[in-house]
Amino acid sequence: MADYLISYDITDPRRLGRMYRHLCKVAVPVEYSVFFATCDTRQIVAILADLAGLIDKTSDDLRCYPLPQRGLKIRLGRATLPAGIHHTDLPDSWMDTETGTFVI
pLDDT in tens, 32-80: 899 999 999 999 999 999 999 999 999 999 999 998 887 776 666 666 6
Identity of the amino acid at 97: T
Q: Are 36 and 7 in contact (CB under 8 A)?
A: no
Percent of the chain clearing pLDDT 70 (strictly above):
68
User: H helices within 1-104, ranges in order?
Assistant: 13-26, 41-52
Q: At residue 15, does pLDDT exceed 90?
A: yes
Q: How far is CA 74 from CA 6, 9, 66, 71, 88, in A?
A: 17, 24, 16, 10, 11
* Residue 80 to residue 30: CA distance in whole angstroms: 6
Q: What is the reported pLDDT for 69?
A: 83
Greater confidence, 21 or 95? 21
Cα 86 to the center of its chain, rounded Å: 13
**Regarding the domain delimited by 1-69, which CATH topology (the fold level of the hierarchy) does it fall under?**
Alpha-Beta Plaits (3.30.70)
